Structure 1
């Protein structure tokens, strides 16, 4: 399941909770993700800015 940074995951509910958490449908990349401040910042807006910058710099 590849998607651009900033694009909302189709499995998030209105409270930004994963609807497939704990199921076999959850992608391995999500299950293995360990948030770090360097990449996630202090809030959602900072995280999106950082991840978008990282994505654009690796193309």
Structure 2
């Protein structure tokens, strides 16, 4: 599955525990990453300071669902299901 243009759910819904430029403690779930552009693209894409976890993310139907709202719901569910 390819990422949907104009989604950005993976930069909003999950927590990221590794440091991100401008977010040294990462970001909590449900908080928009500072580097998510207005057109919902990663402003760090292709740059060395992009967190490794972001680079490893791969869109998949069970994570991304059918649209952005579905992706935010599903990623939120995965976030809660895998929380320690």
In the superposition, the TM-score normalised over structure 2's length comes to 0.62
Q: Provide Cα deviations, 1:11-43, integer angstroms capped at 9, x if missing partner.
A: 111001111111101111111111101111111
Aligned with 1:29 (options 53, 63, 70) = 53
Q: Which ranges of structure 1 fall in alignment gaps of 5 or more residues?
A: none
Q: Which ranges of structure 2 fall in alignment gaps of 5 or more residues?
A: 1-15, 18-26
Query: Match for residue 46 of structure 1?
Result: 70
Deviant stretches of 4+, over 6 Å: none
Q: How many pairs are equivalent?
A: 59
RMSD: 1.4
Report which of the two has the higher share of helix. 1
In the superposition, the TM-score normalised over structure 1's length comes to 0.84
